[in-house]
Amino acid sequence: MLRINLLLLVAALLCALGVVTSQHKARKLFQTLEAEQERARQLDVEFGQLQLELSTWATPPRIEKIAREKLRMRTPEAARMLVATRAPAAGEGRP
Amino acid sequence: MMRFKGAQAHRFAESPILQLRLPGWRSRLMAVLILASFGVLIGRAFYLQVLNDAFLQEKGESRYRRDLEISASRGRIADRHGDILAVSTPMKSVWAIPAEARLQPEQSRQLAELLEIEHKELTRKLSSDKSFVFLQRQIPPDVGERIAALKLPGIGQSKEYRRFYPTGEMTAHIVGFTGVDDKGLEGVELAFQGQLLGRPGSRSVIRDRRGQIVEDVGSIRPPQDGRDIRLSLDSKIQYLAFSQLRQAVAEHKAKAGGVVVLDAKTGEILALANWPTYNPNNRDNLTGAQLRNRALTDTFEPGSTLKPFTAALALEKGKFRFDSVIDCAPGRLTIGKATISDAHPHGALTVAQIIQKSSNVGAAKLAATLPAEEMWAMFDAVGFGQAPRLGFPGEVAGRLRPWKSWRPIEQATMSYGHGISVSLMQLVRAYTVFARDGDLIPLSLTRSETPLVQGMQVFSPQTAREVRAMLEMAVQPGGTAPKAQIPGYRVAGKTGTAHKLESGQYTNKYVSSFVGFAPASDPRLIVAVMIDEPGGGRHYGGDVAGPVFASVTASALRTLGIPPDAPLQVANGGNARERL
């Protein structure tokens, strides 16, 4: 009788310790999860900011300014345009 | 002692003390008292555990349990290619509880510097007797962190979203803006408020002593971010329209102007630009004139741009043919007491030439053969007198009086666009009947995934094609708007030059407009240009609005990769009929 009681006592103690460690582990993991989720939110915010930055850099007025001033690009005159048709018949390649 | 002595008279076992009988009420009183105090305890326990349970439970939970709000962001607004037009990013707002905020002079100077406000202003706010003041709203998150690092008493921060508009003034009128509390105040931001707005979620958590979250308790309500809106706008075309309009308004010293570009196949609005405009990112000193989305909220008498509708109705009813001749000499026509005149007198003109040369007398003579009721029904069918139903805030219906009240002179002036008022958006929509084969289509502000539209037939396809040919003649030599030509493309359109109506009187101020479409062989784009009060000598629609139309349309056609449908040499006039 005493043996069984002792055995049960040891088992109960082990279970109790198990509960404690798993609870501890769960909290640790939960904290990591929280941290990762926070990081995900941060990255999301950063993504939004980068998207904003991208669209600020890519506004048509800025592109036109650079194209015209820095790269010295311009719209070709009508005389220098060539229209490619799907089935170019003779003499129609250059309208 | 005496008593003890007396006790000797009795037997030892019969102690008089034991024989002494207490009065019965004393023990009963004790019992009742003890029971009563048990009763009080039980009552108290009942009160705490049952009656007041919820309150105490809450108090207990509040020591470790926190309800956190999970913020949701407002939806983005993008153009048809997905380029961002409006986006929210989190910012910090700094507040103070003045009673608790006792700062050293050095500290408050530091704070004022970080907040970029005057030191005096900060001291004034901190010494106010309110219980809560905002010191600065919407500061960048990194500045917020530096303020938090100062660890000032009574100063706190809260998260807020701020809306940014990278395209700025270019798209200001269509996108609109939001107030500081994420509420749409203008434009699409207001029109689509319900979809854009996110719903914040919430969760309750247990926090430990160090403020770290230990576990979730209860259910989590996930936040719902606002839906992204994809507009039908094409930011390249929008930019072209905006910059050309700005240039034209400056060049002609005009008061205002508007441009609308419409996809004739789908009814999508590709561009909508107004001048004057404003920068939605910095809205100090805004005036009503800057804020108005003229293309939708302002009406004007369109003038000659309505003549094609009169001509189309006359053709439709079989009263005239494309080349029926009408005598427009001597360029004047008297109806009742009023006289209608042409800017340049013409002789006999065909119906097509009336449109080409924009003869008021000719249009009035066409209208004279039409019953008022039929004309009203046609104007009504192409959408005049009713709001375009875009769901846009402030869109107006214009003015189309009921036909029963029309006098003959009014019917005559209406045939060339006076005595009726429309918005630029209505005008551009009405032109879909000519750009398509006679059907009017609903407009759309958002990109439509299914480009199939249900049109409402107003004119027969044959009539629409004939009017298209007339409109093509109008931009050819001999027409009113040769400056609206585009090399490489066939273009059709109509000018409008209308006197402005001010307090019931026609003045010497003008509204110059041009509505046209291209390529004329298979119209893809409808473009309407309106310039309000052009100064500097020129005011004819063909001179003022025509070139804007040409440059906007030419660039837009190129941007969309629409192949040219005409030889690059400018076509000769008069042969439009053969190309029908």
Query: Residue B77's domain is classified under what CATH number?
Result: 3.90.1310.10
pLDDT of the residue at B571: 41
Residue B477 φ/ψ, nearest 5 degrees: -55, 135
Residue B131 annotated in active site: no
Q: What single-letter amino acid sits at B227?
A: R
CATH code for the domain in which residue B534 is found: 3.40.710.10
Same domain, B245 and B153: no
ipTM above 0.85, yes or no: no
Is the Cβ of B89 closer than 8 Å to some Cβ of chain A? yes
Residues of chain B contacting A49 with CB distance shorter than 8 Å: 89
Do B414 and B275 reside in the same domain of the chain?
Answer: yes
CB pairs under 8 A between A and B: 65
Residue range(s) defining the domain that contains residue A51: 8-71
- Would residue B553 count as lying in a domain? yes
**Do residues B214 and B340 share a domain?**
no
pLDDT of residue B12: 65
Q: How many Cβ atoms are within 10 Å of B414's Cβ, its own excluded?
A: 27
Q: Is A27 on the interface with B (CB under 8 A)?
A: yes
Q: For residue B579, which of B504, B479, B470, B501 has the smallest C-alpha distance?
A: B470
Please count the structural domains in chain A: 1
DSSP structure string for B511-532: EEEEEEEE-TTS--EEEEEEEE
CA distance B529 to B552: 10
Whether residue A60 is contained in a domain is answered as yes
Residue ranges of chain B whose pLDDT lies below 70: 1-14, 16-20, 211, 451, 568-580
Instruction: Report pLDDT for B10.
Output: 57
Higher pLDDT, A81 or B273: B273
- Residue among B73, B213, B236 whose CB faces A34 most closely: B213
Q: Which residues of B touch A75 (CB under 8 A)?
A: 555
Longest CA–CA separation in chain A, Å: 112
B373 & B496 share domain: yes
Q: Which of B310, B319, B540, B317 is nearest to B434 (CA)?
A: B310
> CB-CB: which of A45, A59, A78 is closest to B568?
A78
In A, minimum Cα distance to B214 occurs at A27
Q: Say which residue the tokens 């059709």 belong to.
A: B492
Predicted confidence (pLDDT) per residue in A30-44, tens digit? 889 989 988 998 898
Distance, CA of B175 to CA of B239 (rounded, Å): 14
Instruction: Give the one of B212, B488, B555 whose C-beta lies nearest to A31's C-beta.
Output: B212
Q: Is residue A31 part of a domain?
A: yes
User: Does any domain span residue A86?
Assistant: no
In a domain, B17, yes or no: no
Q: Where are any strands of DSSP class E within B290-337?
A: 299-300, 325-327, 332-335
- pLDDT on residue B274: 92
Give the pLDDT confidence score for residue B346 in this predicted structure.
86
Does A1 fall in a domain? no
Whose CA is closest to B242, among A73, A57, A59, A69? A59
Q: Are residues B187 and B314 in the same domain?
A: no
Q: What is the span of the domain harbouring residue B118?
A: 68-230
Judgement on whether residues B444 and B491 belong to the same structural domain of the protein: yes
- Please give the Cα distance from B74 to B92 (Å, whole number): 16
pLDDT at A85 over 80: no
